[in-house]
Every structure is written in structure tokens, then in C-alpha cells.
Copies of this chain bind each other. A is one copy, B any other.
């Protein structure tokens, strides 16, 4: 197959997509259902329509753009990723797997191929947990792992429910209908930047993911006692922020205690109330993220954090409550999908190597309902979730080329 990936067109489209942002360039902030997210969705829809794909959106805004195959009754081959972005992020996380998949479909169309199975681009809602506190909301609901009842209880920091937010963005269907029927897809493949440094360090252009690390997140709420910073003497204090500081350090210590390089834990959010220089903090809210490729080891870290919370609560005479927002098992990629990706690399003459995904992705949840694989491309210095996140056009084009070959192979 003589496949031509238009790297210049794809680079241009990624740059246009990056302009839909609540933060000034080069930063990208695109939180689900906010105005930049809605505008970016409209842009992607317009590109898909121009490519002749037929569009469908579900009740939470997952977008399905289908290139019908010769036999549309067969389970389709699916590919996709997300376009939402955490505050102050970059322009490649997720977007490469959406616009790159579209470019792969266009490149296949240009060869004159008519695939036997349909090929469907899936753009997932809210891969990032920024707004509702839980990552991969769209793919969780598609997989059935999160049900409509749980989704209906989600609220953002301002108290808006998921239903409020999705309906305001124009998605008015029934959330219970989002879950995919069994056997919908014969395969799912996600193209993504590595978000780590290994491919760049080894000079390898493509990574074939064999497993995705198991993520978990906790919300920790500490209630102490406020008061005047001059008048409340040190022995009488029940300072919620100092308790939070100790818990954040305990999270770090718990991750390091496993002595496994694959264990990571982060306290990325800390809100202090009332938040005045001359007022003893009465309340502190933390959000904690723990990941490991080994689920048991990950759960042991969570247990250590819980123990630390109990210890800090007793010692500092504060109340500490923890809520597990999610604690998901790791995923193994499907051997047949990995084989199709490997064969496509061989066909194209590109070097590749197997690897672990430390970040988690919609593929983690799609693996519950479809044979799944992931294809990684390098990103500069492994940097992600930052404005200086960067993937070279030639690396993106190489990933798109292999994705296209694999989609054709899986759809044949």
C-alpha cells in the first residue's frame, strides 16, 4: 500500500486546535464543556465531516466519526483519544490520537482502499479529571465500569452536576445509553505521545504498549480549627494545613517505600481555607494520585496513605476523611492488536519496541470492551502536562503511518 501521510496538514490542524484554550499560548487549558472545549469539538467535527465521515455523539459528548466499510454489519475497528487538557498543559496530549487518527483515515481513503470493516474515530469526553475529579469519564461510561447512577452524582468544584454541564453543552441524551453493547468493536487502537522519556533516550521512534499502569486517586479532606494567627497559641492549634502538609509528605514517602521505580504518587491539588495570611487554616483539601504497573503494590501505597491520615488526625487532633475517587486495575493489551501494530511497523520499515504506559488513557477502559492496543511516539524530554510539551512532526507522521497500516490490517 502506497500511503502518504500529510504531516504539514496535520501539524496545521494541531496548531489550530491549540488555539481553543482558556490560557494564552503556548499553554493549553481546555476543560470539558467549557467554551474552549466546545469550540474545539466543533472544529474536530468540521474536519471529520470534510473527510466524509458520518458523525454521532452520545449523551456525554463522546464523538463517533465513522468511515463505513464494505460490510457495515461487522464489528468496526476503532481508534481515538481525547482533546481536553488540564490547566496550563500542552498541545499534543490526546490531540495527536484524535487528529492523527483522522489523518490516518484520510491517508487510507487516498489510497483508494475500501476496508471490509468500518473504521471509527472515537473522541472521548473528559479524559482529564480536572472538572469532575475522575479521569477517563467518557471511556469509563462506554466500558460500563462507571454507570449512569455514579455519573449522576458527579459535581464540579462549583457544585454543577455532570448533567447540568453536559446539557448546557448541548448533550441531552440518556447517560444510561452511553455504555457500548458487547462486541461493538473488533479492536481499539490509541495513538499517543509517550509522556515519558524512554523512546527519546533510546532513539526509538515507536513504542508498542503491552500494559497500562493501574491508577488510583484519593480526595483527602482535613478539618481542624481556625482562628487568629496572632492569638491562638501554638499548643492549642489544630491547623488543617500543617496536617495536609504531613499527609502530602507521607504520600511521597509511601511511593518511595516500595523501592520500585514504577510506583509514583503525587499530591497535585491543595486548597487551604480560609486562605488568609493571618488566619490559622481551618480546612485543607488534597487530591492524591497513585499509580503502579502492579495493582497490589499500588494498593499497598494507598493503604500506607490511609494509615498516615489516621496517624496525622490523632496527633494533630484534626478530622481527616479520605475518599477513593477511583482505583482501577492495570490493563494488558491484546496480543493480536499488538501483533498487528508490530507487523505494520515491519511493513513500514520503522523500528519499535514494547513498553509500559505509566500514564493511563482511555485505552485502559476500552480494553474492557474491545481487544486493545496503544502506539506511543516520543515527546521531547518526556515532558507532558506542561506548555513546553512537544512532539516532532516527523515522529507524529511516523505514528500516523503505522496507525493507518494497522487500521487497514485490522479492518481487512
Contacts and interface: CB of A to CB of B under 8 A. Distances in A.
Given A245-B245, A245-B248, 18 more contacts: A86-B276, A89-B279, A129-B278, A130-B277, A196-B231, A227-B383, A229-B264, A229-B268, A230-B291, A233-B264, A234-B265, A241-B268, A242-B248, A268-B272, A268-B281, A277-B287, A277-B289, A279-B385
Nearest to A272: B270
Interface stretch (A69-77, A176-184, A249-257, A342-350): A249-257
A277 B217 CA distance: 8
A36 to B, nearest CB: 16
A124 to B, nearest CB: 15
Contacts of A235: 261
Contacts of A264: 229-230, 232-234
Ranked 5 nearest A-B pairs via Cβ: A245-B245, A230-B359, A229-B266, A277-B287, A88-B274
A128 B276 contact: yes
A29 to B, nearest CB: 9
Given A273-B88, A383-B227, A252 B278 contact: no
**Tally of this chain's copies:** 2
Interface residues of A, number: 68
Interface in A80-97: 86-89
Interface of A: 86-89, 128-130, 133, 135, 194-196, 213, 215, 217, 226-235, 239, 241-242, 244-246, 248-249, 252, 255-256, 261, 263-270, 272-282, 287-289, 291, 358-360, 382-386
